[in-house]
Amino acid sequence: MHPTLDLDNAQILHDNLDHTLFSWSKQAGLNPISVERAEGVYLWDRDGRRYLDFSSQLMNVNIGHGDQRVTEAVAAQMREVSYVYPGMITKARGDLGRRLAEI
């Protein structure tokens, strides 16, 4: 259900349903939640309803949504090297490997 499906919400729904794929889902008949923002362990839809994010969006954000420490660290790394293929090395990759091995 989309109780307040205004023009913006309708366009967002249309763009997502018609132009993107939903993994692990039958594509026809979907009724997805339109997420507008996230903070900590909560998500809010475009109608202002709050949802507890039990899945941490499949464990990608188990520290919580919007943690500024993570945002700043990601931005700093992106300014240096945003991505290289797995056959290359970076300082960040080596540092992470060493720190994980020390656990």
Range of the domain at 73: 34-79
Residue 102 has pLDDT above 50, yes or no: yes
Residue 16 located in a structural domain: no
Closest of 48, 99, 81, 44 to residue 66, by C-alpha: 44
Q: What is the pLDDT of residue 25?
A: 87
Residue 88 located in a structural domain: no
Residue 99 located in a structural domain: no
Q: Which residue has the tokens 């939640």?
A: 33
Residue 74 located in a structural domain: yes
- How far is residue 86 from each of residues 89, 93, 97, measured CA to CA in Å? 8, 10, 13
Instruction: Provide the pLDDT confidence category of residue 1 given band limits of 50, 70 and 90.
Output: very low
- Domain count along the chain: 1
Predicted confidence (pLDDT) per residue in 23-79, tens digit = 888 899 999 999 999 999 999 999 999 999 988 777 777 788 899 999 999 999 999
75 SS3 class: helix
